[in-house]
Amino acid sequence: DGGITQSPKYLFRKEGQNVTLSCEQNLNHDAMYWYRQDPGQGLRLIYYSQIVNDFQKGDIAEGYSVSREKKESFPLTVTSAQKNPTAFYLCASMALSGQTKRNYGYTFGSGTRLTVV
C-alpha cells in the first residue's frame, strides 16, 4: 500500500546533538512538508519542497535543515541550534498537477516524537 513512513516513532536527543528524522513516501508525490506540533498548538510549517533538489523555509525553519535528493525522501535534521526541539514532528506529501499546482490533498505520516534528555 502507498503511504508515508516516518522513523523512528520516538527519538531522544542529548543537548548539543544533531538528529535526523526520516520521511519516505511511495506515493510518487511531488511536494513534501515538515510540520512541528507543540502541546496545545497547531502544526507549524518548518520546511517544504516541491521538486527534487529544491526546498523552501517555512515559518519556523531556524535550527533545522532538510535535503531532497530523491523524490521519495525528505529527511529533517534538527541541529544543536534549535534550542527547544522537544515536539511532535509530522511529515506530509502532496501530488501537484504540474503548472497549475492544483491541490489534491495531503497525506501525513504517523509522526516522530522527539525529546531532549
Amino acid at 116: V
**What is the per-residue binding string for another protein in 81-100, x denoting contact by CB under 8 A?**
-------x-x-x-x-x----
Q: Is 113 in the site for another protein (CB under 8 A)?
A: yes
63, 56, 106: which is closest to 87 by C-alpha?
A: 63
The minimum distance between CB 11 and another protein, in angstroms, equals 14
Which letter does DSSP use for residue 11 in this model? Answer: E
Dist CA 117 CA 111 (whole Å): 19
Q: Is 48 in the site for another protein (CB under 8 A)?
A: yes
27, 25, 32, 75: which is closest to 51 by C-alpha?
A: 32
The minimum distance between CB 16 and another protein, in angstroms, equals 27
Q: Is 58 in the site for another protein (CB under 8 A)?
A: yes
- Are the beta carbons of 60 and 44 closer than 8 angstroms? yes
Interface residues toward another protein, by CB under 8 A: 31, 33, 35, 40-45, 48, 50, 58, 88, 90, 92, 94, 96, 101, 103, 105-106, 108-111, 113
